[in-house]
Amino acid sequence: MSYQYTFGPAIDPITRLGWALGIVALSVVAIIAFLLIGGVFRRRAPSSQRLAESKDAGGVSWIYIGTGISSVVLIGCMVWTMIVTAAVSRPPGLPALTLQVTASQWWWSVRYLSPRPEDVFTTANEIHIPVGQPIRIELMSADVIHSFWIPQLAGKMDVIPGITNVTWLQADKPGVYRGQCAAFCGAQHAHMALFLIADTPRDFAAWREHQLTETPPDSLTEQGRQVFEAHCGVCHAVRGVVPAGVRGPDLTHLMTRRTLAAGLLPDQPGDLAAWIVNPQRFKPGALMPAQLLSGAELTAVTQWLSTLN
Amino acid sequence: MALTLATSWCQSLRSSPPDAAVSGAPANSVTGASFNFAPDDPPGEWHSQARDYANTRYSSLHLIDTGNAARLRIAWTFSDGTQGGHEAAPLIVGSTMYVVTPFPNILFALDLSKPGEPIKWTFKPNPSPAAKGKACCDTVNRGVAYVDGRLIYNLLDDHTVAVDAKTGKQLWRTKMGNLERGETMTMAPFVVGRKVLVGNSGGEMGTWGWIAALDIETGKEIWRAYSTGSDEQVRIGPDFKPFYDHMKGKDLGIKSWPEGMWKHGAGSVWAWISYDPKLNLIYHGTSNPSPRVPDQRPGDNLWTSTIFARDADTGMARWAYQTTPHDRWDYDGVNENILLDLPIKGHVRQALVHFDRNAYAYTIDRTSGEVLLAAPFAYQNWSSGIDLKTGMPMVVKEKEPHPDVKLSNVCPPDLGGKDWQPAAASPRTGLVYAAIFNLCMDVTDNKVGFIPSTPYDGMNIHRHAAPGGNLGEFMAWNPATATKVWSIKETYMTMSGVLATAGDLVFYGTADGWFRAVDARSGKILWSQKLGSGIIGQPVTYLGPDGHQYIAVEAGIGGAATIHADLIAHAGEDFPAGGNTLYVFSLGGDSQ
Amino acid sequence: MTFSKPIASLALFLFLNACGRDQGGSSTTAPAPSAPAAVPLGQIAGASGSIAALSTPNPYQDNPQAIEQGKQLFGRMNCAGCHAYGGGGNMGPDLTDTYWRYGGLPIQIYNSIFEGRPQGMPSWGKALPPDDIWKLVAYVQSLGGAVPVGEWDHARQGDRPGEYSAPEASGPQNTGPQK
């Protein structure tokens, strides 16, 4: 029920309209129920009297009044709906930021665009935006139909292979908003969540600055880095490390995220190690295969990944 | 014997027409262009792939001319026993000819003074076979450089070697790069003074492109300039003055790329270098950016697909011009820059002519990098023109590739309107002659990850002929008006170098093996000879010890001409097989 | 009539379980990743006939889902960059024809991918688990040029299926005069 409370201009008008329509619908049900019950229990004259007094009891006025009120209400709702649809179809101003979100089975790649090429970077499964500003989101699919849905901030927008759909949203209150894939996309559709965090503009700028930095080499975790490069780099990218695969999520600054595996596991070293050893246990069918690492290799790579702050 | 030699020599000098040196072009020159033929090697010899610093590939020999070219016959041949595309030109120093092969990069010295041109010595460097799997476009070698009794050339496995020209023994060997990074070396070194310039290959492999200067005596590296990265790495300093605004700024080699992608952005220097001794500037180009999927790397992607002018001593950049910013189609900027002084609209400009992969022919002021003229020389539909105010091409949106979108008929294809095969210029006609393509491609881009030593590519291409149906064309170009003067259409690709001579002849070869001599003024084919394989080498001419003029060219198809077998255009005829033979021609086939 | 409902439910239950959905992590009879089976590339000196390891089948052979995943891997791991989209060959050899420098049996293709090869083929054994390599092999097999299991001797000798073979062409030599 928390999704009834929304926090952005892309969805607030819809929420209000939703509540209003709900109230109207409930009122209609109440009124009709009242009239029906009233009609059921209304005392009638005996049948012989009714036959003799076959004059118009004046019930047509009920029809006129009823139709009139219904029409006004319905037309009012229709007009209101059209106003709401227009209001949410485009952002109130120029978007402060454009994101390119590519949905794959069963995770989200997020690329931050910028007029300055050197500020373009990629992350995964977690979106940060500044509060109070409209954000434009371009949606692409790497495989099948998905749907991008952050219920407290915007309506659903399908993600269709071969087409780039565009949506927008705005968060008026800082906080963490959970999103979900809303179109059945395969065995792990239910485990394809994402988190959108709305930061104050200063926190957002700091986060963004930090995302652009690279992971420096560290002699203590060097072995783990080597394990990553040999075993993981062909699918995963970490800025600063040489191989940069694109088959799986970008893992740069992995430890700054709240969850692993698109919202499935908490982002803690223990869960990370369990995930690496056998992703199939948590997300059967996921494209990440079980890793055949020795105990030492697993410890080393988990240690190194834990430094990706 | 000596008397005969002396007499023919004096004869050739006496009746040599007044060739244009730095001053003055002949009256019947179409453009009035003049060239500097420094280092003025002996006319009967051929010491470097491009013949001279200006890259004219022009010989003042004229014993073979338009009157007698029809009498050319095969004088002798030499098979080097290797496989692969033969792209180099033989060198002739004194009475010895030097022939280098594709991988395994064997160097032969042939004694021209003895009958049968026997092998004097053979140098076998034994490069690593692992290099074969890193070479995008066949295991080719584009030639040797000669300086001061040394022959210097690059091995495919990232080593540069120097060999004693008399004995065939190795003088030095320098490791320049690393196969694990996906880079190889295929280009012909270029000698300037006591330095030799070399560069890497690997535009499709996500390498980090560079050009370096080595000391010719020790092989030690003096400087290296990268094609992406900070200004310091690209050797951009206070003297750098690009003509156009979008190349002005600090560390553009980092800022015009998404975070970190410049590190494997390529810009390799795999083709030609020219040099102006008066300005003391070298000119070279850089390859396409990596990956070949543009949407993965928004930004101008400097300094890829760029022509550089650098100080010949320090390598510090003087100016740069990016021919295809944010290159989306693999239009490298590495093609040769032919230096010439050219009257344009009444003023003589110190210019260079550059036929780019993007199908535009540029006439550029070589002192400043200003584009004077730019016009398409081959069929193209990726751009609606070059804005000479900003230097930027105007890109046609429909021809921009995007991942997983099938794009049809993008012209020219990745091979370009012209690839590395070098053009030649004639001071007598004032024209430039080039073997070009008439091709288009259907392309689908696929997102790629960077896995070192594997291709960082992503283009799924099918090439086919552009309107007209012919795959190749040989043309004469007027660099002062940027117009085609005459052209010869060829069924198959024309991917050979060009030779121009004072006999008013120009020579070129086709991918199906025809080697032709053409009248440089009229464009009429005067002589053709079918060779054993397709020709992608560079023809040269020399005077033998017997005083005869010879024309030499390698026949061995390969290189990028056979990358996709679906380029077999002509119904009923098959594409020629590979070969490895050097053909030498003379009038009547005479030789000693 | 009274039995139809439970029978229908049972049938449905059995039917659903019969669709062996590939879970992505199913166990295979793949060689252990650290020691590819001792599979020879040439003939075995001294011995006659093949060795058992050559008959190792591809657990994913003819599995359409595995072939599709192998095709995706082929693109994502940049195999297509060297061997061309569709496997026709470019920098790397043609994978659709019947010429195999290092052997065309499933296990030999597996080893070529796992170990790498001297003329530039990288070694993927560390980067890809056996499952992924077998899926790539399945994709390569689907291109049509691979050697079927059991055909190694014939493939190595250039024999074609259905050809005429002279009586003395095979079998032991020098058995002495026939009595």
Helix (H, G, I), strand (E, B) or coil at C173: coil
B contact chains, 3+ CB pairs < 8 A: A, C
Q: DSSP assignment, residue B492?
A: S
> What confidence score (pLDDT) does residue A55 get?
64
Q: Which residues of chain C have pLDDT under 70?
A: 1-37, 47-50, 175-176, 178-179
Tokens encoding A209:
């600055």
For chain A, what is the mean pLDDT? 91
User: Among B308, B328, B317, which Cα is nearest to B268's?
Assistant: B308
State yes or no: is B239 an active-site residue: no
State yes or no: is B330 an active-site residue: yes
> What confidence score (pLDDT) does residue A57 get?
65
Q: Which of B154, B288, B301, B580 is catalytic?
A: B288
The separation between CA A149 and the C-alpha centre of its own chain, rounded to angstroms, equals 3
H helix intervals, chain A: 12-41, 47-52, 60-89, 201-211, 222-227, 269-277, 279-282, 295-305
- Whether pLDDT at A5 is above 90: no
Fold classification of A219-306 (topology level): Immunoglobulin-like (2.60.40)
Rounded to the nearest angstrom, the minimum Cα separation between C51 and chain A is 28
Which residue of A287, A293, A298 to mutate against C (max C Cβ within 10 Å)? A287
List the single residue in C24, C33, C129 with the smallest CB-CB distance to A284. Answer: C24
List the single residue in B129, B455, B457 with the smallest CB-CB distance to C118. Answer: B129
CB contact under 8 A, B448 and C78: yes
Rounded to the nearest angstrom, the minimum Cα separation between C82 and chain B is 7
Q: How many residues does chain C have?
A: 179
Instruction: Give mean pLDDT, residues B533-561.
Output: 94
DSSP B41-74: --TT-B-STTSSTT---EE---SS-TTTGGGEEE
Interface of C with A in 110-169 (CB under 8 A): 124, 126-132
- Tell me whether A144 touches chain B (CB under 8 Å): no
State yes or no: is B288 an active-site residue: yes
Query: Which chain C residues are Cβ-neighbours of A237 within 8 angstroms?
Result: none
Query: Which chain C residues are Cβ-neighbours of A292 within 8 angstroms?
Result: 33, 129-130
Measured distance CA(B534)–CA(B540) in Å, rounded? 17
Q: Which of B19, B276, B327, B330 is catalytic?
A: B330
List the single residue in C25, C76, C124 with the smallest CB-CB distance to A247. Answer: C76
Instruction: Give mean pLDDT, residues A112-124.
Output: 95
Over residues C92-135, the pLDDT tens digits come to 999 999 999 999 999 999 999 999 999 999 999 999 999 999 99
- Please say whether the beta carbons of A271 and A237 come within 8 A: no
For chain B, what is the mean pLDDT? 93
Which is more confident, B239 or B20? B239
Q: How many CB pairs under 8 A join B and C?
A: 55
Tell me, yes or no, if the two domains A97-212 and A219-306 fold the same way.
yes
> What confidence score (pLDDT) does residue B18 get?
35
CB atoms within 10 A of CB B223: 17
> What confidence score (pLDDT) does residue B17 get?
37
Fold classification of A97-212 (topology level): Immunoglobulin-like (2.60.40)
Measured distance CA(B561)–CA(B573) in Å, rounded? 16
**Which residues, including other chains, have CB under 8 Å from residue B456's CB and lie 6 or more apart?**
B182, B204, B205, B206, B264, B266, B290, B291, B292, B448, B450, C78, C81
**Measuring CA to CA, how many Å separate C135 from each of A160, B1, C72, C131?**
27, 72, 10, 6
Measured distance CA(C113)–CA(C111) in Å, rounded? 5
Every domain of chain A and the residues it spans: 97-212, 219-306
Over residues B134-166, the pLDDT tens digits come to 999 999 999 999 999 999 999 999 999 999 999
**Measuring CA to CA, how many Å separate A67 from each of A29, A60, A71, C70?**
15, 11, 6, 64
CB contact under 8 A, B404 and A243: no
List the single residue in B260, B447, B449 with the smallest CB-CB distance to A239. Answer: B260
Rounded to the nearest angstrom, the minimum Cα separation between C140 and chain B is 18
> What confidence score (pLDDT) does residue C28 get?
44
Instruction: Give mean pLDDT, residues B376-395.
Output: 97
CB contact under 8 A, C77 and B130: no
Which is more confident, C173 or B100? B100
Give a three-class secondary structure readout of B532-591. Answer: CCCCCCCCEEEECCCCCEEEEEEECCCHHHHCCHHHCCCCCCCCCCCCCEEEEEEECCCC
Measured distance CA(A153)–CA(A3) in Å, rounded? 9
List the single residue in B259, B405, B450 with the smallest CB-CB distance to A120. Answer: B259
Instruction: Give mean pLDDT, residues A33-56.
Output: 76
> What confidence score (pLDDT) does residue B104 get?
97
Which is more confident, C14 or A113? A113
- Whether pLDDT at A226 is above 90: yes
Over residues A46-94, the pLDDT tens digits come to 766 666 666 666 678 888 988 998 899 999 999 999 999 998 988 888 9
Over residues A192-208, the pLDDT tens digits come to 999 999 999 999 999 99
- Please say whether the beta carbons of B69 and B212 come within 8 A: no
- Tell me whether B24 touches chain A (CB under 8 Å): no
Measured distance CA(B306)–CA(B291) in Å, rounded? 16
Measured distance CA(B360)–CA(B411) in Å, rounded? 12
DSSP C40-77: -SSPPSS--S--GGGG---TTTT-HHHHHHHHHHHHHT
CB contact under 8 A, B449 and A113: no
User: Among C92, A237, A239, A111, which Cα is nearest to B205's?
Assistant: C92
